[in-house]
Structure 1
Amino acid sequence: MTSGPEADLERSCVPSITSRGRRAALLTDDGVRIEAAYEPRTPGVPAGQNGGTDGRPEDLAIVLAHGFTGALDRPALRRAAAAFRERAAVVTFSFRGHGGSGGHSTLGDREVGDLAAAVRWARSLGHRRVATVGFSMGGSVVLRHAALHRPGERRGRTDAHADAVVAVSAPARWYYRGTPSMRRLHWVVTRPTGRLVSRLGLRTRIHPDDWNPVPLSPTDAAPLIAPTPLLIVHGTRDPYFPLDHPRMLMAAADPAATDLWIEPGFGHAENAADAGLLGRIGDWLTERPPGTATG
């Protein structure tokens, strides 16, 4: 019987190899099938100073967690994946209820399990260092995932913890309705007509039930992440979450392990992230070993 990382891969997904990498169907701990893709680092492009735990870029994989209504094959996530592939291998996936994945979206609650499955898959492919980068809803997920899956803990066949975490355009607290964009989003999520619009127009299936219990908030998760390095990125022109959100996260996190970037003119999540910002995030991930931040 096969054991080790190869067995993890066989039991956790159904892989298919393509010329650009491989596609897989990952199975979460609660039985939801998640579509995922793996792409190696772009050949011939130099990585950062510390691409992996022993200086080899191949040791690092970056797992991208998209925002609400995003998916593995959406152009904005593909653009982000291409930028990060210049520095490391990249895993992309669609959260439950999105794209070709099964289940229904729970707006960041059970999605922690989707991210854990993707991180385990990256480790099963031989990557000793795995970083998570989340956008908007995905930003809240990478924060909660890092708090709930700590280094040294094994909640499955392979470690699901992240060695570095980046939250881009993430909310700090639940039920925020302080901007027109968030009021529209709450209408989509809470009304049957809104969920129908989401399913037909946005290709996103939303779970109709309220949270019970209410999950750990991003702000409550932030202090539990250290000593894992954390980068919080937020734009001054974010139409969903104003600047009190990243500042709340920073105030709650360990300052010795956390960096905060307030980006002038930046809007929201992967749709607004340009190549320059994505490249700087990639450099932040590749130029520091686990357990450090720039302060």
Structure 2
Amino acid sequence: MSSVPEGRFRRSSVPLLTPPPRRVTLLTDDGVPVEAVYEPCTAPHGGPGGETAGAPAPAPAETTAIVVAHGFTGAVDRPAVRRAVRVFARHAAVVAFSFRGHGRSGGRSTVGDREVLDLAAAVAWARELGHRRVVTVGFSMGGSVVLRHGALYGAAHPGDGTDAGAGAGADAEARADGVVSVSAPARWYYRGTAPMRRLHWVVTRPSGRFVGRYGFRTRIATADWDPVPLSPVAAVPRIAPAPLLLVHGDRDPYFPVDHPRMLVEAAGPGGAELWLERGMGHAENAADDALLARIAAWATAAPPA
């Protein structure tokens, strides 16, 4: 799967007629149209406890925006993603989008490589809407994308060219102020579990990509990564000073608990917070409402980078 230098991205917003929620099409730097949805914060607001009915809604500049990056075969309208958006919207404004090759977005999935451009466009759109503070929350494949995005578009290493999938023109409008990665792998090409062996069959074999397209409604690119993008374990030390939260289930059937432990170790002392969730499976489908609410509370409370 190809990775080439990612410069300043172009984007266009084409809103539908009846917000909220507001649906748009974003254009990435490499010309892929990406569907995105904006949900305003639904929390009560106004009085001393933020509870006065009918009070004017706070301006976007006063509200954190959470950008949701779904897992492989997900999309903005999948039930688990919609549920996460609803829970997050009780705490913050939310931008959800479909990665390339998923849902109504164009292009083909590169399974975590070029998807960093999709996330960058979504973060920049949140800032266009007026949000000064933007936190990314990614699940599974999306969890690896938010880690790489945090490294490549972060304050410490803005587009320094050390990853061919980075952006020499990466700029502040695409930067995340906090990163939450849920059920992410620590390294590429992992085949240590049966679900991951099946996933590799879907991604690498013509018959598997057929199943992906018509069984999971996911269009998958045929080319191998060249060069291989920055791995999650190599990305996490580069995310600071932005706060980083790693969330993982101790019953994850895809990535066992050595993956989050590798990530938190790579982040270094104080570089990441780890929540190892008892009884949890994998990604957005396994994250219950209580966990999603805790993640949203962390995202809105964590200090900016």
- Is 2:170 the partner of 1:168? no
Q: What is the aligned partner in structure 2 of residue 29 from structure 1?
A: 29
Give the length in aligned residue pairs: 277
Q: Aligned runs of 1:5-84 on 2, under 5 Å?
A: 12-44=12-44, 58-84=62-88
The structure-2 alpha-carbon separation of the partners of 1:41 and 1:100, relative to structure 1 and needing over 3 Å to count, comes to same
The structure-2 alpha-carbon separation of the partners of 1:172 and 1:248, relative to structure 1 and needing over 3 Å to count, comes to same
Deviates more, 1:281-290 or 1:182-191: 281-290
User: Structure 2 counterpart of 1:142, which letter?
Assistant: V
Whether contact under 8 Å (2:43, 2:89) holds in the other structure is no
User: Structure 2 counterpart of 1:270, which letter?
Assistant: E
Q: Aligned runs of 1:143-222 on 2, under 5 Å?
A: 143-151=147-155, 153=158, 155=169, 159-222=173-236
Deviates more, 1:65-74 or 1:255-264: 255-264
Q: Deviations over 1:202-254 (max 9, x none)?
A: 00000011100000000000100011000000000100000010000000013
User: Structure 1 counterpart of 2:120, which letter?
Assistant: A
TM-score, normalising length: structure 2: 0.86
SS of residue in 2 equivalent to 1:16: coil
Hey, which bits of structure 1, 4+ residues long, moved more than 6 A?
A: 54-57
Offset at 1:57?
8.1
Q: Aligned runs of 1:123-134 on 2, under 5 Å?
A: 123-134=127-138
- Is 2:111 the partner of 1:97? no
Whether contact under 8 Å (2:61, 2:130) holds in the other structure is no
Whether contact under 8 Å (2:178, 2:302) holds in the other structure is no
Q: What is the aligned partner in structure 2 of residue 236 from structure 1?
A: 250
Q: Deviations over 1:147-184 (max 9, x none)?
A: 00023858368610100000000000000000000011
SS of residue in 1 equivalent to 2:190: coil
* Aligned equivalents of 1:174, 1:90: Cα separation in 2: 29
User: Structure 2 counterpart of 1:39, which letter?
Assistant: E
The structure-2 alpha-carbon separation of the partners of 1:160 and 1:75, relative to structure 1 and needing over 3 Å to count, comes to same
Identity of aligned residues (%): 66
Whether contact under 8 Å (2:135, 2:299) holds in the other structure is yes
Whether contact under 8 Å (2:61, 2:133) holds in the other structure is no
TM-score, normalising length: structure 1: 0.89
SS of residue in 1 equivalent to 2:136: strand
Root mean square deviation of aligned Cα? 2.2
Whether contact under 8 Å (1:169, 1:268) holds in the other structure is yes
The structure-2 alpha-carbon separation of the partners of 1:44 and 1:99, relative to structure 1 and needing over 3 Å to count, comes to same
* Aligned equivalents of 1:17, 1:264: Cα separation in 2: 44
Offset at 1:12?
2.4
* Aligned equivalents of 1:114, 1:261: Cα separation in 2: 27
User: Structure 1 counterpart of 2:299, which letter?
Assistant: L
Offset at 1:17?
4.2
2:284 corresponds, among 263, 270, 282, to: 270
Offset at 1:14?
1.4
